[in-house]
Amino acid sequence: MTQPSLFAAWRAMVMRDLTLAMRRRADVLTTVFFFIIVVSLFPLGVSPEMAVLREIAPGVIWVAALLASMLSLGRLFADDFQDGTLEQMLLLPQPLSVLVLGKVLAHWLVSGVPLVLLSPLLGMQLGLDVDAILLLMLTLLLGTPVLSLIGSVGAALTLGVRGGGVLVSLLVLPLYIPVLIFGTGAVDAAISGMDYDGHLSLLGAFLMLAALSTPLATAAALRISAE
């Protein structure tokens, strides 16, 4: 296969998934509402005290984003598996991992980017100042694609398994934890006036590593699950 057709196929895959997401908006909104609701409940449940909220804000927003991202993993391959389009995808004359990367990108655009865009609003609600909010956005921008990439491996492995949702959480959560720690760590460090460059570099390194390795793992897992 020539390179232009591989890129065309990759783009077709991304556009297809974005179109599908636009036609099933309810699915996308579920993730976003979940994120908003979880974060909004904290002032009610913990304390409306600004000092307390400011303290827990980075952690709360990051945990909510992580759970919302995990909630949306089920849709990544399950529909394609059921209607046979996944089977067709495995039989394409293109490298499967490249197409998987396209699918994960579309999934992140639909379920990760809205979280990044909403985070300033929720950050303000929890009393973060402007600098902390911008940094929070940056960590989410670096971190949520890692969540989608790692999640894709779990989603592919549990494809067609009964109770796959719980299994995905068990598989994927341990791998999410470093992202969570450095994501919240950066914002916490900034709030307490410390240097946070190291945290961001590590998040960037996670992203590079995940983007290079997880599509291969996901492609292999899909071939096994589809048997």
Partner 1 sequence: MLEVRDLECVRGDHRLFTDLNFQLQGGELLRLRGSNGSGKTSLLRTLCGLLEPAEGNVFWNGENIRAQRDEFNAELLYLGHHNGIKSELTGFENLSISNTLRGETPSEDQIYNALGQIGLAGREDLPTQVLSQGQKRRVALARLLLSDAALWVLDEPFTALDVGAVALLASLIEGHLQKGHMVVYTTHQEVEMRAGACREVDLDLLMQDRAEQK
Binding site for partner 1 (CB under 8 A): 1-2, 5-6, 8-9, 12-13, 15-16, 19-20, 23-24, 79, 82-85, 87-95, 99, 226-227
What minimum distance in Å lies between the beta carbon of 135 and partner 1? Answer: 38
What minimum distance in Å lies between the beta carbon of 172 and partner 1? Answer: 26
Tell me if 10 sits within 8 A of 99, measured CB to CB.
Answer: yes
Query: In this complex, which beta carbon is closest to partner 1, that of residue 98 or of residue 211?
Result: 98
Query: In this complex, which beta carbon is closest to partner 1, that of residue 83 or of residue 131?
Result: 83
Query: In this complex, which beta carbon is closest to partner 1, that of residue 57 or of residue 99?
Result: 99
Query: In this complex, which beta carbon is closest to partner 1, that of residue 8 or of residue 208?
Result: 8
Tell me if 189 sits within 8 A of 199, measured CB to CB.
Answer: yes
With the CA atoms of 170, 207, 137 and 11 taken in that order, what torsion angle do they form, in degrees rounded to the nearest 10? Answer: -100
What minimum distance in Å lies between the beta carbon of 206 and partner 1? Answer: 30
Q: Which of 63, 30, 73 is nearest to 164 (CA)?
A: 73
Query: In this complex, which beta carbon is closest to partner 1, that of residue 194 or of residue 223?
Result: 223
φ, ψ at 99 (rounded to 5°): -65, -40
Q: Which of 125, 163, 116, 103 is nearest to 143 (CA)?
A: 116
Tell me if 139 sits within 8 A of 175, measured CB to CB.
Answer: no
Q: How far is CA 46 from CA 40, 49, 126, 208, in A?
A: 11, 9, 12, 37
Query: In this complex, which beta carbon is closest to partner 1, that of residue 44 or of residue 91?
Result: 91
What minimum distance in Å lies between the beta carbon of 120 and partner 1? Answer: 32
What minimum distance in Å lies between the beta carbon of 164 and partner 1? Answer: 19
Tell me if 152 sits within 8 A of 76, measured CB to CB.
Answer: yes
What minimum distance in Å lies between the beta carbon of 223 and partner 1? Answer: 8
